[in-house]
Every structure is written in structure tokens, then in C-alpha cells.
Structure 1
Amino acid sequence: MSFAVVVSDIAPLYTKPEPLCELADEALYGMVVEVLAREGMYCRVRTHYRYEGWTPARCLLEDGAPAAQWQSVPKLVVQKPYIDVLNEPKVQGGCLQSMPRGAFLCPEGGPDENQWQPVRLADGRLGYTKATYLAQPAPAWESVGEDELRQRLCGAALSYLGAQYRWGGKTPLGIDCSGLVSMAYLLNGVIIYRDAAIKPGFALHEISFEAAKPGDLLFFPGHVAMYLGEGRFVHSTGHTGTEGVILSSLAEEAPDYRADLKESMTAVASIFGAPQ
């Protein structure tokens, strides 16, 4: 067993160890992955949220010592859609590394009077980015009140509005349906299954639609969305004419009504309450 750190902005996780094949997921800068196997220029990895795929070895820092050290240092999480880490604390600085929402950086002290936050990259380089672009990792979700967590989940999903649809994607550059909801939960300290399914061993359990509240998930054949309340939901869709992260409705009188989804709903799930 060995571990590695993702050192590219986005490490694609493919279904096979070859280029231009199906994208299954994306690991983000600063995530630590377990290396399971190697084949040619690819490594099969398992993420901390228990998803597996093949990624180019060039996306990883595989040296065991830096990976172990990186796991032990404090982290900040990128909150903006996409940020640059610069070599100087000024906007004219050279870009050392760019990364999307959900990536991890190590803080080096606090920000200066201009809110430049010194950060350490996984390869040891020191850089700078604005403190307002970063946040502390989410606390254990069980410690957050239900109403507040539901609000945070919805806010996280809505922060991707307008992103293009990308099969297997998980960033504001492109995201799919399960990438959207799993990232919304991951940013709030909750690990759910990465694909559009309710899988044993993860936090979600099935509930009735009548019991659904904001932040719960709606499942359809091969699709998942986050419920916002009052019949509305946010999702990432490849549906012709409405591609990307959008708002839709289950209410027949709404202009963005999706009759096809209302009629094909297979399940509703929640992390709240006890499984029935």
C-alpha cells in the first residue's frame, strides 16, 4: 500500500489506463489518494471518498514521505470556482499553480494586511493567494445543526450554477449530476457515493418524497438532483437545450417543469434522521 498527493489542478480518473477513454471522476489538487496498481503511465488510485479510477502518473506526487507529511499538516479548502497561487503576494506575481473549488492547500501563518495568505504547495513550494478564496475544512457534519447544514448543502450546490455538463466532472469547469451533489456534500464534510445511486456503507438512506426537505437528494434512472424545497431542485444535466447546472421544477405550472423527471423518479434520500 502506498499513498500519493494530487499535484495537478485536476487529476482525471479514467475507467481504463489509456487516453481518451471514459472519464469516471476527477481528483483535485492536494487530495491524498491510495495507489492500488500501476500500468504503463497510469496509476489506479482510490480516493478518500472511496472511489477508484486510473489517473496519469504525472498528476501525482508519489514519494511516500511528502505524501505522509502532507496528510499530517493543517489544510485550507479552495472556495472560489478557480484560483491561482502566485509566487509573490501581489496580483502581478507569477502563477505557480491553479486549482478549482475543493482543492487543498497548507497555510503558512496568517494573511498579511492586504489579505494575502501564504500557502505551501504539496511539492514544498511557497506561494500566495487571497485569504478570502480559502476556508477552513468543514467540521464533522454531525456537529452542525440540521437546518444550518441543509442551507449549506443547498448553497454549495447552487455555487456551481452555470457550469457546463461534463461526464465524470467535479469542478466549476465542468461537472456531472453526481459530481455536483457529491461535491456539495464533500465541501460540507459528508461523504456520499460518487455515482447516482444509494449505496450501502454511505450516509444516505431512502425516505419518502413527502418527507423531502432542502438538501435531500432526488434520484432518477442514471440521474440525481438536490431538492431545494417547494418542488424545485438543482442539477447538472446533459438534457438537450438545458445543458449544465440549472434549476428545474417538479411543479406542472412552473416554466422550468421537468415532466420526464417527475414521472421517472425512483427514490428520495437523506442523511438526516434514522433509516426506516
Structure 2
Amino acid sequence: MFAICNLAIVPLRFEPSDRSELVTQVLFGETFIILEQKEKWSKISLSTDLYEGWIDNKQFITISESQYLQLQQTPKKYCADLIDYVTGANTLMPVSLGSDLSFLNFPDINSNALIFDGNQTTGIQPKANLLQTAFLYLNAPYLWGGKTPFGIDCSGLTQMVYRLNGYYIPRDASQQAKIGEPLSFIEESEVGDLAFFDNEEGQIIHVGIIMENNYIIHAHGKVRIDRLDHLGILNIDSGRHTHKLRVIKKII
């Protein structure tokens, strides 16, 4: 079975329970495949990154396979405003930055004739645009599994910033660290490259976007800007290193 998210921000959970851990979020317009279905919950795989989890059956609508395939072949159009609205007959619904508006052009899927009049972004943008997009998330509170300006985690930030500019990378920091070209020194990096950080066991646990002049934007407590050096992230408020640098990757 195939489906699409018809609500603003829906939690995707580790287990089929409202008390279960949030693993990521499903934004308005995102499509997915239903892998398993129970009375109240469905296990799904998101189309963009194949991330799996459980979603409440009341928080999506099913579509046909042909409609699903049609949407996969359609250029993506994303909401480029922090928050805006889709409107229709008796409908006024907020949608957040990064929501997928592609299906609104298909009357057979957009049965409520929803309309979006806000700013949109589509296609591959210059690498230089990555940082401007990242700035839209500044001061967003840290939320494990989040991927909106109202709550986001470190890899959600990098994934959404890249997605809004037409580049698709995996969901988790450990997965993102497996792609791209490794760089030997910070001096070799460009604005928009990703820096990855590990724990004492050598596991990748954090990621951020490199800026000019040895600064980095990342989600730690909130989306913030700190210093980056050969040791890792130097918190500009405390003057202490908070993350140990493992590798820098050029993704694009």
C-alpha cells in the first residue's frame, strides 16, 4: 500500500505506541510505502530516505500505486517559508518549512482542492544557498527526531537544508557520514560541507554545516553558530569544546 501525509507534522515512532520514541517526523505532502498494518498503527518506509517507523492510521491517506509513482517522478516543490498555510473549502492548515507541495497539482490526489500561495523552492540550487537556508532554522529548539523550525535535531537540520536545495541525503548522522568525499583539513572545506563528530567509542553522533572563517551551524540545545577547530566544536558561550571532530565530508 502507498500513502501520503495530509497533516502538517506527524510523528514517526519506533514502536506502535503514542508513548514510543520519536524517530523522525513526516511532513505535509511526504509519501511513503506501508510495510505492515495493524488496527491503529502502520509501519512505513519514507520515500525520500527509506526511514522506517510507525505512524498513526488516522494521520495519513492512502493513494494508489500509480499515483505514488506519478509523485515520485514529479519535481519536488517545497514550502520555503518558516510557516504558511494551505487553504481550501473549510480548510486552513499550517504547513512548515520543507513541506512537500508537489501533490497539490494533482486533482485526483488533492481531492480537497487545497491551494498554497506562499514561497516555494524547487530544483537544484547553488551550493552557496545552503547556508542561507540553514539560517532559517537558527534558534530552533533541539528535538530528537525533529525536522522543522519548531524542533529539530542535528541530522534533521543537515538533511532538510540539503533537501530544500535539491540534494537528498540520509536521515541519521552516522548514515550521512558514509557518503561524500572526505577532506583532510578544515582549510580544504567549503561553505556547506558537513563536519561529523564522534563519541569515545568512535560512533558518529553529531553533524553540522561548515561556514566561513571556521564557524559551524549545528543543532545543540538549539540551532546555533559556534567555532570549529581541529579538535571539534568550541562553544562560543562556554569557551569549551562540546564535540570531537571525526571527519569532514564534501557532499556536493
Correspondence 1:194 to 2:171: yes
Distance 2:71 2:247 in 1: 39
Residue 112 of structure 1 corresponds to: none
- Any residues of structure 2 matched to 1:89-128 within 5 Å, and which? 95-106=91-102, 122-128=109-115
- Seen in structure 2, the aligned counterparts of structure 1 residues 172 and 63 have a Cα distance that, compared at 3 Å, is same
Displacement of 1:129: 3.5
Displacement of 1:33: 0.6
Correspondence 1:6 to 2:2: no
Correspondence 1:138 to 2:119: no
Corresponding residue SS for 2:190: coil
Which of 204, 228, 241 is the matching residue for 1:260? 241
Distance 2:60 2:134 in 1: 28
Identity of aligned residues (%): 27
Residue 40 of structure 2 corresponds to: 41
Corresponding residue SS for 1:104: coil
Residue 51 of structure 1 corresponds to: 51
Corresponding residue SS for 2:241: helix
Q: Is the 8 A contact 1:74 1:107 kept in 2?
A: no
Residue 17 of structure 2 corresponds to: 18
- Seen in structure 2, the aligned counterparts of structure 1 residues 219 and 71 have a Cα distance that, compared at 3 Å, is closer
Correspondence 1:230 to 2:213: yes
Distance 2:5 2:234 in 1: 46
Deviations 1:123-172, CA, capped at 9 Å, x for gaps: 411233434x223x223xxxx6xxx31x1111111110121111100011
Which 5+ residue runs of structure 1 have no aligned equivalent? Answer: 89-93, 110-118, 238-242
Displacement of 1:258: 5.6
Residue 174 of structure 1 corresponds to: 151
Equivalenced residues, count: 240
Corresponding residue SS for 2:173: coil
Query: Please, what is the CA RMSD of the aligned residues?
Result: 2.8
Counterpart residue identity of residue 82, structure 1: I
Distance 2:154 2:234 in 1: 24
Which 5+ residue runs of structure 2 have no aligned equivalent? Answer: 199-204
Distance 2:21 2:235 in 1: 35
- Seen in structure 2, the aligned counterparts of structure 1 residues 269 and 104 have a Cα distance that, compared at 3 Å, is same
Distance 2:227 2:107 in 1: 43
